[in-house]
Each structure stands twice: as structure tokens, then as C-alpha cells.
Structure 1
Amino acid sequence: MNKSQRLLNILMTISSKKKFNIKDLTEEFHVSKRTILRDLQELSELGVPLYSELGINGGYHILKDHTLPAVRFTENEAIALFFIAESLKYYNQLPFESEIQAALKKFYHHLPSGIKVKIDQMRSKILFWVPNRPLKTPFLSDLLEAALHQSRISVSYESQNGVSSRDIQVIGVYTMNGFWYCPAYCYKSQDYRTFRVDRILSFAVSTETIEKLDLSNHHVTDWVFPDKAESELEQGLTLKVELNKRGVWQCKSDFWMSQGMTIHDDETGTIIKTIQASDVPCVVDTIMQWGTDAVVMEPPMIRELIIKRTKEILHLYNASL
């Protein structure tokens, strides 16, 4: 291993450790103590913020908030990373939004001119578009932090029934079709609920002294793919929908609904999936859009809501004649 490769490998190794000592590095890289000390001195001169502690329990640390080590990318890897960041540009709001933009500009600035030209050309050939929702989500980053620290928080939430105050414990946040959602345990309902982030009007750390739940083993993916999850979340409702050929075609364009779809030999289909009570309004809206191409078989609650909505629409048009 040449010196430059060894320096890069040492940097990657010590960046992944909270503490390290000279003996560990000499054994890992099969070089002398003097060589390791020289390498560390050179890394320090290059700007790596090393800090040493003396004594029996001493060792070396890299100071917090340091810059990450340089990483080499192939041309295609660099282009792929750039477009991963580009794919987020049409979201109205994001956690770490300013940091994403700063990182993207910094990354682009240091690319070779040939790769910059290729990226600029590809920008006119590929677009990652999501529906532009002109809805504010000022507490998006706060909710993510609350999920990471398992904080119990107090929010005011606006639903179709009005504004209510709730204490919740956040599992995480996810985005779908341009909207941000927050699955959480709701202490008011004593059950798990999914909240639209743009409908959260206020946010504060709860002052209640009730013991918090341990949600460390719950993952936000359990809410996007509930049929694949083996969690302790609410049992939910079984949704069953029969689709004609056109219904299958429409369902393929809906990521969430299509997760439970089975296509039959005659090109019709059936949706069977587990949904939460908080998903019911969204399901009703979707099925109403599909019209006669979809028929809900279960649960009775959704059938009744669709019948009620249909009667209300019919009454509205009859009254205007």
C-alpha cells in the first residue's frame, strides 16, 4: 500500500471511531509506531482536527463537527449522487433544506469540467417531479428531531372536525405524493395515528410527566408498507377492492394503493391490504376518483362513506336543476 492510499485509509478508519490509539493503527496497517505518528502529523497539517489525551485511558480523538474525509468517486457515481440530490428540488420543504442546497453547490463546484458538462446536458433530459403542494410544514425538522429523541410533544392539529390539542410521540416522517406525513402514538386517542404535517399548527415539548413509550423498534417504513411489517402497531382494517381492467390500470399509478394489488389472468385485479383508521378519508377519495372501475368489498365503513358521499353529490346536482 502506497503512502497516499494509507493516509486515506487511516483517515477513513479514525473518522469512524470515537477514540483510537497508536497501537491499534500499527496493527491494522502493519507499519511502525514512528510511521503512524508521521502519518497522523501529516493528516493534522492537512486540516484533520486531531486531539490527544495523555494517561492510561488516553488516546486520540477527532474533534466534533469536523469535515468529512475526501472520498473518491467514479464519473457515474458522481453523476448519480448529484441527481439523487436533484431529485429533491421540487419538494416545497425538506429537513436540512439549506444544507442540501449548500452540499449540492459545493459538490458541483469541485467536479471536473467534463462531468459538469455532462450533468448540465442531463438536466435537460431528466426531471424528478413531485406535485407542488403550496402547504407550509414549519415543524417538519422539529418532528424529525422528536422522533430521533423519542420526545413526547404537544401539538395543535387541524382536521376536518376542527382544531384539537394532542400529546403525541413521533415514530418518524415520510413523504408521499408531495405531502408529508407523521405517524405517531396519540395519547388523547390512546392509539397510533397518522398526521399530515402541514396540518400541525403548533409544536412544543410536552410538560406531562407520564412515562414515554419505547418506540425505538418501530420504523416509519411499517406505515408505508404495513403488510410487510410485524409490529406492535394497531391491527388496522382490512381493505378489499375489486378492480376491472381500467381500475387495474389506474391503481398502477397509485404507489400506496398498488402495494396490495393482485392482477388476475383476465387482467382484472383485487386490492387486499391493511390500512389504519386515519387512512380511511384518503382511501374514500381515491376510490371515488376511480368511479365504476373499483368496488369496495371491505370494510363496511368505507362502503357506507362512499354511498353517503355519492348521495350528497346526487342531492347537490338534483337541487340545482
Structure 2
Amino acid sequence: MSKAQRLMQLMMAVNRKRQFKVRELAEEFEVSTRTILRDLQELSELGVPLYSEVGPHGGYKVLRERVLPPITFTEVEAVAMFFASHALRHYSSLPFEEESVSALRKFYLHLPGDVRDSIDRMKSRLDFTAPTRRQNAPYLPLLLEAAVAQKVLDITYEPEDRASSQRAIQPVFIYTNQGFWYCSAYCFLRQGYRLFRCDRIRTAVYDTSGLQPLELEPSSSSGWYEEPSVPHSYRIQAKLSRRAVQRCEAEMWISLDIHEDGSGQLDAMVPEEELSFYANFFIGLGTEVIVEQPTELKDEIRQQLSDLAAHYK
């Protein structure tokens, strides 16, 4: 095995291990301990964050922020990876905001010049848009971390039309819709599942009261925000003309059942707090849409139309 191949495999080996000893690596790669020490020094100079501990239980460890080994991409794969990350820039908040910007910059700068030129030409002809929102969700990384680790958070939540409240929650699932981020979580105050809009979470810290977390797992990639049983959500059903379908697909990014003639049916679960938004949007569609349910959405449409009529008296 050449030195270059050994260094590559050694980098992958130390990334897999939480802790290791020089003698173990020497036996694995069938070289002397002195050779492994020199190789580890070279890896350290290349940026692999290694540190050593002395004592009977000592050895080498890799810091949490590990450096991944090089990966080769075809030109088309490189372009696809770039635009997959590039598309995230439209979101005002991301769970890994700084890291995604840094990764995209590194990825772009290390591409061959002709591939960068190709990407630059595509950037003026290809984009992935998302609704622009002014609201930031600064606690997204903490919410995601708590969901993965199944830990309890103490938050201050401020709904649109009610006073803020303190509550303990255990995040289960994080998703984005219409440019907003949502967190489905178990609320210990209400003793049930609740849906929280992440930009309305004013403070969030790990709970220190000793509250025991629950064993909670999302049933599917979408089940936590589409189940009718989730409190404070409504099932919207509406018939849409062909023109209304085109508007919904262009502006709302929601799943529709489209018929052969281009018309369609909307059947989706939405948070209670978003009823006003949907009412306003459907009013803009006029007679191109017929809302079948829920009654609360119909009432909201009537109220908004009444307020609009009163405004022009």
C-alpha cells in the first residue's frame, strides 16, 4: 500500500473511532508504531483535529468537529451538490445556517475552474425560490438537537393573538412550510402534542427541573403535521378550478389532487393559526375555489369579507 493510500484509509479509520491507540493502528495497517506516529502528525497538519491523552487509559481521540475524508464527485454530481445547498439561501433561518454557508464556499472554491464557470453560468438561469419571511427562528438548532436527543426544553412561546406563556416541551419533528418553520412537540403543560411556529419561540433552554423525557418517535416523515388528531389543526378541503390549481402550485407549495381537466382538490392539515392566511388567499381566488370545510375557515372568510366591505363604506 502506498503512503497516500495509507493516509487516506487512516483518515477514514480515525474518523470512525472515538478513541484509539497507536499500537492498534500499527497492527491494523501492518506498519511500525513510528510510521503511524508520523502519519498521525501529517493528518494533524492536514487539519484532522487529534489530541492525545496520557496514562494507562490514554491514547488518541478525535475532537467532535471531525474532518471528513476527501470524496470524489463527477462534474454533474458536483453541480447537483452545489445547487442543493445553494437553494437554502432563501430561508431566513436554518438549523445549520453558518455551517451551510461555510460548506458551500469551501465546495465552490475547491472545484476545478471550468466546473465553477459552468455553475456561474447556471446561476443566472436556475433558481429555487421560497417565500421570503422577515421572521427569524434563532432556536432552530436547539430544537433539532433536542428532537434528535429526545430532551426536554423550557420555552417562552408567544402566539399571534394570545399572551406569551412558559412551558416545557419535548420536540419531535421539525419541518418548514410556506417559508415558516414548525416544531411538533409534546407539551407537558397541556399533556398532549402541540404544533409550535418556531419564530414565535422567544426563549429556549434545556430543562433543569428533572422532568423525564418520553420515548417519542415520528411515525413518518410527514405524519406529525398531517394527522387530524394533532390539536389546534384543521383539515381543509376545497374544490379548485384549473386556474386556482395553477395559483396554488405557484404560490402555496401544497399537495393537490389534480384531475385530468386541470382542476383539483385540496385536502390538507393546517395549524389553527394559519386559517387567516388561507382565508385571505382563497378570497383572492374568488369563485375559482369552493371551500367545503372546515366551518372555521368559512367563518374566517366571511369575517374578512365583512371587514373589507366595512372598510369601503
> TM-score with structure 2 length normalisation?
0.78
Measure the CA separation in 1 of the matches of 2:306 and 2:232.
31
Structure 2 equivalent of residue 137 of structure 1 = 137
Instruction: Answer whether contact 2:156 2:204 (CA < 8 A) is retained.
Output: yes
Deviation at 1:236, TM superposition (A): 5.5
| Aligned partner letter, 1:240 | Q
Distance 1:183 1:220 in 2: 12
Question: How far did 1:316 drift?
Answer: 3.0
Any idea what SS the aligned residue of 2:106 has? Answer: helix
Deviations 1:75-106 (A, max 9, x none): 23323222222222232232332222223333
Determine the structure 1 residue equivalent to 2:30: 33
Per mean C-alpha deviation after superposition, the further-off stretch among 238-247 and 57-66 is: 57-66
Aligned positions, number: 307
Q: 1:243 and 1:199 mapped to 2: Cα distance?
A: 32
Residue in structure 1 matched with residue 164 of structure 2 by the alignment: 164
- 91-100 or 292-301: bigger deviation: 91-100
Please state whether the residue corresponding to 2:145 is helix, strand or coil.
helix
Counterpart among 36, 42, 46 of residue 45 in structure 1: 42
Cα RMSD for the two superposed structures: 3.6
Letter in 1 for 2:288: D
Residues 201-239 of structure 1: per-residue CA shift (max 9 Å, x gap): 233444554433322445663346x26xxx985596443
- Name the CA distance, whole Å, in 1 between partners of 2:250 and 2:219: 28
Instruction: Answer whether contact 1:154 1:165 (CA < 8 A) is retained.
Output: no
Greater shift in the superposed pair: 83-92 or 232-241:
232-241
For 1:241, the equivalent position in structure 2 comes to 238
Q: Is the 8 A contact 1:173 1:220 kept in 2?
A: no
Instruction: Give the counterpart of 1:295 among 290, 293, 304.
Output: 290
**Residue in 2 that maps onto 1:69:** 69
For structure 1, the 5+ residue unaligned runs are none
With 98-107 and 294-303 compared, the bigger mean Cα shift is at: 98-107
**Residue type matched to 2:83 in 1?**
F
Compare 2-11 and 263-272 and name the one that shifted more: 2-11
Counterpart of 1:179 in structure 2 is 180
For structure 2, list consecutive stretches of 5 or more residues without a partner in the other structure.
none
Matched, 1:203 2:204: yes
Q: Determine if contact 1:157/1:164 at 8 Å carries over to the other structure.
A: yes
2:263 to 259, 263, 268: 268
Taking the aligned partners of 1:273 and 1:26, their CA distance within structure 2 comes to 59
Q: Percent identity?
A: 33
Distance 1:309 1:9 in 2: 65
Looking at structure 1, the residues matched to 108 and 240 of structure 2 have their Cα atoms a distance apart, in angstroms, of: 47
Instruction: Report the alpha carbon displacement of residue 262 of structure 1 after superposing the two structures with TM.
Output: 2.0
Which whole-Å CA distance do the structure 2 matches of 1:75 and 1:305 have between them?
A: 52
Would you say 1:314 and 2:309 are equivalent positions?
Answer: yes
Q: CA deviation at 1:69?
A: 1.8
- Secondary structure of the 1:129 match is coil
